[in-house]
């Protein structure tokens, strides 16, 4: 009735920003994770989830490949690898 | 997939400090929060029709009036008898807070509304392409304060916004940084537990505007704090109540990781001036970590 | 209840009856008495609203925008410079489709600074998407506020309403006014139920970034709604007239137009003076009339054309100028008749009353006198040419 003016919540999930990645993506080794949850906290996209040690992983549909998670992991349990590389 | 109140799918740059900080703020505030946003990066990347990343009621009006619109929202909620259970947060960037929106912010603070104002300080008008604002630091290279043969960048220091807010006699003023995300959440929760106007200024590195790698956002944020150029402080009822003690790294460590300060690296005279600013902050707020007992 | 009351006080009384929840106040002559009165009413507990003393008109409009977005009936008043300062927010409120009533105490615009009445301020914001209603006297100004909230909050409208009343003439004039009772107003104007609002139980994003693929439809929607208002407004005015015992005609009022040979078109308080002149000239056998425009936005093209299609000579009286082009109302009247088979032969444009210069009965008679077969592009009434001899060496 008013045209495009009001938006319902959370509809940005339709926008799969994972397509932005060109070169690198995170690799969660899930070996030395201490469950500090820093990666989950600081991801600017909020696309890391998990519940307990060695369960955290990223959502490739939204990850933009910024590398902040790898930079912050105190146990260096997250690596940034080439996009095409196998896990 | 998390059900964050600022969900994924927004179009912030990869590694954006402001998106990180904004998510910290709204997750700490919770779903009983109404957000009023100024025009800027945050508004643009989170609400491009037909997609919105916000899971809370959110309104955007103009560039400079979030504080005034929030005043109206707060008044409306008080009239409806609902204000006690609902947080009102007004937010904007450094340009919309310290420059064009200073009048509306001052009015809101002076009238004593129960609103938390959050300023995301990326130290320039980033959304329009990195122009100088009142919170752009001394000697910073922006498109309207570029370095050149006759200039080392911005010739003025940062406007002391925390002190300006504090001078209004409000109960709580704090600075925070995207380099310390849990500290942001702690300060937001603390602010929202206090009735009255609150001002929180968060330093948010901008990989695009500051010219650093996207994975260095948190590192750069930490360096700004650790060298004394961005003191993390709290004022409660007008008095300085807490500061984050730092090891006082030399400013050059902070400057050299950012392209916007590249022109200074061959200019020790200018770096001395910036070190003087950091030293002044360290002195004024008592930031230096004591390493030996009694020293 | 009939009272002998100053215009501003009457407006404060009627706003009290409309029960707003958020009132924002910033002083500017000649509207200040309205917000002062409302402040006293809040202080005495007779108005249960959040009264926000803002630091500028821009924030005054922003505060009521926030109040309306929160789902609460809101109110503010302004004039001239204040209206211009909040003009950005004015466009914003209409664009966000938020209901609101704002009183504009029409006043001349700076520079040079002049606090007296003309209509340049509200007319300059005619593109903003607001409904603009012009009052002839204090009674009509009072009634238009109640009607304004009714129309504004209508789910088929959801657009803000500006009630325009001539500064000083109506705001500071004293007339006998029937202030309705609370029961009458409550019956006509139910409590505001927001169509959409900021609600933590039903969150939504209001005011997103809308790109080229989406923006145009929002503007079309406002245009279409204002077109629908050409029916909604007269209906609301008719319902009001019935319930409150008034005699309003709707979008326009045709006074002695039926067999008139010369008609003046005007808006606002000057219509009262013109009616007096019409009565006087009619008693002398002159066939003259007045078309009073109440709704300036939406512009009532059909009502105007139907009223005046058989009138040979029409004078448009503007209290504003679109500097560099024609007087605004005259332009729109001429456009309204363009291409129509039946139209006046002569549409002459007259500009009078700028900066509060008195429009006397003689001035109005002068307009009728100048309304001849020779069409006048633009004629300033009561201009003082001797003042134009100033030289700066």
Complex-level ipTM: 0.94
* pLDDT score at B1: 46
Tell me whether residues B1 and A59 touch, CB distance under 8 A: yes
Q: How many domains does chain A have?
A: 1
Q: How much is the average pLDDT of C207-222?
A: 94
Is residue A1 included in any domain, yes or no? Answer: no
Nearest chain B residue (CA) to C54: B107
* Average per-residue pLDDT for chain B: 95
Contacts of C120 (CB under 8 A, 6+ apart): C80, C108, C109, C319, C320, C321, C354
Question: Chain C contact for B71, CB < 8 A?
Answer: yes
Is residue A35 included in any domain, yes or no? Answer: yes
Nearest chain B residue (CA) to C215: B49
CA-CA distance, B41 to C251, in Å (whole number)? 44
Is residue C393 included in any domain, yes or no? Answer: no
Q: What is the pLDDT of residues B17-28, one digit of tens each?
A: 999 999 999 999
All partners of chain B with 3 or more CB pairs under 8 angstroms: A, C
* pLDDT score at B295: 44
Residues C262 and C334 in one domain: yes
* Average per-residue pLDDT for chain A: 90
CA-CA distance, B29 to B207, in Å (whole number)? 26
Please list every residue in chain B whose beta carbon sits closer than 8 Å to the beta carbon of residue C210: 49
Q: How far is A26 from chain B (nearest CA, A)?
A: 11
Q: What is the pLDDT of residues C277-333, one digit of tens each?
A: 999 999 999 999 999 999 999 999 999 999 999 999 999 999 999 999 999 999 999
Residues C366 and C290 in one domain: yes
- How many Cβ pairs within 8 Å bridge chains A and C? 36
Q: What is the pLDDT of residues B235-274, one digit of tens each?
A: 999 999 999 999 999 999 999 999 999 999 999 999 999 9
Tell me whether residues C221 and A1 touch, CB distance under 8 A: yes
CA-CA distance, C196 to B57, in Å (whole number)? 11
Please list every residue in chain C whose beta carbon sits closer than 8 Å to the beta carbon of residue B111: 52-54
Residues C51 and C154 in one domain: yes
The CATH code of the domain that includes C300 is 3.40.50.920
Q: What is the pLDDT of residues B134-146, one digit of tens each?
A: 999 999 999 999 9
Residue B238, Cβ neighbours under 10 Å: how many?
Answer: 14
Q: Determine the structural domain holding residue C238 and report its residue range.
A: 2-244
Q: What is the pLDDT of residues B111-120, one digit of tens each?
A: 999 999 999 9
Q: How far is B265 from chain C (nearest CA, A)?
A: 40
User: Is A87 within 8 Å of B232 (Cβ atoms)?
Assistant: no
Tell me whether residues C200 and B61 touch, CB distance under 8 A: no
Tell me whether residues B79 and C50 touch, CB distance under 8 A: yes
Q: How much is the average pLDDT of C207-224?
A: 94
- How many Cβ pairs within 8 Å bridge chains B and C? 159
Residues C237 and C346 in one domain: no
pTM strictly above 0.90: yes
Q: At residue B292, does pLDDT exceed 70?
A: no
Residues C256 and C240 in one domain: no
User: How many degrees, rounded to 5, is the angle at CA B11 between CA B90 and CA B231?
Assistant: 50
Q: How many domains does chain C have?
A: 2
Residues C128 and C275 in one domain: no
Question: Chain B contact for C65, CB < 8 A?
Answer: yes
CA-CA distance, C212 to C234, in Å (whole number)? 35
Residues C264 and C359 in one domain: yes
Residues 35-74 of B with CB under 8 A from A: 46-47, 49-56
Tell me whether residues C97 and A5 touch, CB distance under 8 A: yes
Tell me whether residues B56 and A9 touch, CB distance under 8 A: yes
The CATH code of the domain that includes A67 is 3.30.70.20
Decide: helix, strand or coil at residue C4: strand
Q: How much is the average pLDDT of C128-152?
A: 98
The CATH code of the domain that includes C140 is 3.40.50.970
Task: Kindly list the domain boundaries of chain B, sorted by start residue.
Answer: 17-285
* Average per-residue pLDDT for chain C: 96
Is residue A38 included in any domain, yes or no? Answer: yes
Pick the residue of B46, B66, B79, B83 with the most C CBs within 10 A to test the interface with C by mutation: B79
Pick the residue of C205, C212, C216 with the most A CBs within 10 A to test the interface with A by mutation: C205
Please list every residue in chain B whose beta carbon sits closer than 8 Å to the beta carbon of residue A45: 8-10, 19
Q: How far is A21 from chain C (nearest CA, A)?
A: 24
CA-CA distance, B270 to C253, in Å (whole number)? 74
At B84, give phi and psi (nearest 5°).
-60, -25
Residues C159 and C307 in one domain: no
Tell me whether residues C205 and A8 touch, CB distance under 8 A: yes
Is residue A19 included in any domain, yes or no? Answer: no
* pLDDT score at A9: 82
Give me the count of residues in chain A: 87
User: Is B59 within 8 Å of B38 (Cβ atoms)?
Assistant: no
Residue B253, Cβ neighbours under 10 Å: how many?
Answer: 11
CA-CA distance, C54 to C82, in Å (whole number)? 12
Q: At residue B90, does pLDDT exceed 50?
A: yes
Please list every residue in chain C whose beta carbon sits closer than 8 Å to the beta carbon of residue B83: none
CATH top-level class for B17-285?
Answer: alpha beta
Tell me whether residues B52 and A15 touch, CB distance under 8 A: no
Residues C162 and C295 in one domain: no
Tokens of B199: 């001002």
Q: How far is B117 from chain C (nearest CA, A)?
A: 15
- pLDDT grade for A10, boundaries at 50, 70 and 90: confident
**CA atoms lying within 13 Å on the CB side of residue B94:** 28
- Percentage of residues in chain A having pLDDT higher than 90: 75
CA-CA distance, B30 to B25, in Å (whole number)? 9
All partners of chain C with 3 or more CB pairs under 8 angstroms: A, B
Strand partners, A57: A49
Nearest chain A residue (CA) to B57: A9
Question: Secondary structure of chain B in the HEC alphabet?
Answer: CCCCCECCCCCCCCCCHHHHHHHHHHHHHCCCEEEEECCCHHHHHHCECCCCCECCCEEECCCCCHHHHHHHHHHHHHHCCCHHHCEEEEEEEHHHHHHCCHHHHHHHHHHCCCCEEEEEECCCECCCCCECCCCCCCCCCECCECEECCEECCCCCCCCHHHHHHCCCCCEEEEEECCCHHHHHHHHHHHHCCCCCEEEEEECCCHHHHCCCHHHHHHHHHHHHHCCCCCCEEEECCEEEEECCECCCCHHHHHCCCHHHHHHCCCHHHHHHHHHHHHHHHHHHCCECCCCCCC
* pLDDT score at A86: 64
Residues C221 and C320 in one domain: no
Q: What is the pLDDT of residues C75-86, one digit of tens each?
A: 999 999 999 999
At C349, give phi and psi (nearest 5°).
-105, 130
Q: What is the pLDDT of residues C358-384, one digit of tens each?
A: 999 999 999 999 999 999 999 999 999
- pLDDT grade for A32, boundaries at 50, 70 and 90: very high
* pLDDT score at A84: 81
Residues C293 and C167 in one domain: no
Tell me whether residues B72 and C63 touch, CB distance under 8 A: yes
Is residue A39 included in any domain, yes or no? Answer: yes
Span of A1-10, C55-64, C187-196 with lowest mean pLDDT:
A1-10
Is residue A6 included in any domain, yes or no? Answer: no
Strand partners, C346: C313
Residues 14-43 of C with CB under 8 A from B: 21-22, 24
Tokens of B1: 């997939």
Task: Name which of B34, B68, B107 is nearest C198 (Cβ-Cβ).
Answer: B34
Q: Determine the structural domain holding residue A49 and report its residue range.
A: 26-82
Is residue A75 included in any domain, yes or no? Answer: yes
DSSP C285-324: T--EEEEEESEEES--HHHHHHHHTT-SEEEEEES---TT
Tell me whether residues B51 and A16 touch, CB distance under 8 A: no
Nearest chain A residue (CA) to B207: A66
Task: Name which of B79, B86, B103 is nearest C200 (Cβ-Cβ).
Answer: B86
Q: How much is the average pLDDT of C93-112?
A: 97
Q: At residue C393, does pLDDT exceed 80?
A: no
Q: At residue B3, does pLDDT exceed 90?
A: no
Please list every residue in chain B whose beta carbon sits closer than 8 Å to the beta carbon of residue C72: 75-76, 79-80
Would you say the C-alpha torsion C43, B65, C124, C21 has a positive or negative sign? negative
Residues C34 and C164 in one domain: yes
Q: At residue C216, does pLDDT exceed 50?
A: yes
Task: Name which of B34, B76, B110 is nearest C200 (Cβ-Cβ).
Answer: B34
């Amino acid at each position: 009735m008013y045209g495009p003016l009001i938006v319902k919540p959370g509809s940005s999930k339709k926008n799969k920003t994972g397509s932005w990645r060109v070169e690198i993506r995170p690799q969660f080794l899930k070996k030395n994770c201490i469950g500090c949850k820093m990666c989950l906290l600081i991801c600017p996209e909020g696309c890391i989830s998990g519940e307990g040690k060695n369960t955290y992983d990223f959502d490739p549909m939204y990850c933009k490949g910024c590398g902040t998670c790898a930079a912050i992991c105190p146990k260096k349990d997250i690596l940034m690898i080439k996009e095409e590389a196998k896990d | 997939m998390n059900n964050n109140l600022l969900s994924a799918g927004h179009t912030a740059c990869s590694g954006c400090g402001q998106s990180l900080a904004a998510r910290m703020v709204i997750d700490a505030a919770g779903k009983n929060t109404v957000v009023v946003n100024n025009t800027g990066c945050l508004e643009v990347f989170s609400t491009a029709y037909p997609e919105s990343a916000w899971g809370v009621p959110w309104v955007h009006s103009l560039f400079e009036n979030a504080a005034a619109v929030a005043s109206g929202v707060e008044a409306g909620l008080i009239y409806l008898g609902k204000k006690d259970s609902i947080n009102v947060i007004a937010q904007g960037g450094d340009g919309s807070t310290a420059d064009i929106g200073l009048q509306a912010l001052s009015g809101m603070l002076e009238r004593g509304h129960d609103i938390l104002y959050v300023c995301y300080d990326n130290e320039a008008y980033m959304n329009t392409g990195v122009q100088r604002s009142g919170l752009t630091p001394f000697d910073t290279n922006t498109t309207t304060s570029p370095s050149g043969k006759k200039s080392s960048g911005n010739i003025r220091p940062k406007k002391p916004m925390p002190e300006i807010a504090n001078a209004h006699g409000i109960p709580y003023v704090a600075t925070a940084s995207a380099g310390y995300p849990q500290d942001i959440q702690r300060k937001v929760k603390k602010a929202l537990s206090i009735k009255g106007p609150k001002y929180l200024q968060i330093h948010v590195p901008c990989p695009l505007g500051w010219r650093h790698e996207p994975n260095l956002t948190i590192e750069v944020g930490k360096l700004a704090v650790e060298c004394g150029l961005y003191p993390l402080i709290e004022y409660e009822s007008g008095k300085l109540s807490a500061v984050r003690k730092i090891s006082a790294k030399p400013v050059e460590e902070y400057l050299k990781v950012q392209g916007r300060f590249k022109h200074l690296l061959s200019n020790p005279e200018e770096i001395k001036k910036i070190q003087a600013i950091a030293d002044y902050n360290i002195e004024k707020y008592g930031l230096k970590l004591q390493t030996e007992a009694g020293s | 209840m009939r009272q002998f009351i100053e215009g501003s006080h009457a407006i404060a009384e009627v706003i009290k009856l409309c029960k707003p929840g958020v009132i924002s106040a910033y002083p500017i002559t000649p509207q200040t008495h309205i917000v002062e009165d409302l402040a006293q009413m809040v202080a005495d507990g007779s108005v249960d609203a959040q009264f926000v003393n803002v630091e500028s008109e821009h924030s005054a409009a922003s505060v009521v925008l926030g109040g309306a977005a929160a789902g609460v009936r809101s109110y503010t008043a302004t004039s001239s410079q204040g209206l211009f300062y909040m003009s950005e927010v004015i466009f914003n409120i209409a664009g966000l489709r938020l209901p609101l009533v704002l009183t504009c105490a029409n006043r001349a615009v700076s520079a040079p600074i002049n606090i007296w009445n003309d209509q340049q301020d509200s007319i300059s914001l005619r593109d903003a998407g607001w409904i603009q209603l012009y009052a002839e006297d204090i009674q009509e100004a009072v009634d238009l506020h109640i009607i304004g909230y009714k129309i504004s909050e209508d789910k088929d409208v959801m657009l803000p309403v500006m009630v325009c009343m001539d500064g000083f003439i109506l705001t500071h004039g004293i007339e006998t006014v029937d202030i309705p009772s609370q029961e009458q107003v409550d019956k006509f104007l139910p409590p505001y139920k927001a169509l959409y609002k900021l609600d933590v139980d039903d969150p939504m994003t209001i005011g997103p970034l809308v790109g080229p693929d989406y923006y145009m439809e929002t503007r079309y929607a406002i245009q279409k709604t204002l077109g629908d208002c050409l029916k909604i407004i007269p209906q609301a005015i008719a319902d009001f007239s019935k319930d409150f015992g008034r005699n309003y005609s709707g979008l326009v009022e045709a006074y002695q137009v039926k067999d008139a040979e010369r008609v003046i078109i005007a808006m606002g308080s000057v219509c009262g003076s013109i009616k007096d002149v019409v009565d006087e000239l009619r008693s002398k056998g002159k066939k003259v009339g007045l078309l009073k425009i109440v709704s300036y936005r939406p512009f009532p093209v059909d009502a105007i054309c139907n009223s005046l299609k058989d009138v040979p000579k029409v004078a448009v009286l503007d209290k504003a100028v679109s500097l560099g082009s024609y007087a605004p109302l005259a332009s729109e009247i001429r456009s309204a008749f363009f291409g129509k088979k039946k139209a006046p032969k002569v549409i002459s444009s007259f500009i009078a009353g700028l900066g509060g210069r008195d429009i006397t009965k003689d001035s109005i008679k002068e307009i009728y006198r100048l309304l001849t077969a020779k069409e006048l592009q633009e004629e300033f009434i009561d201009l003082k040419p001797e003042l134009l001899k100033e030289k700066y060496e």
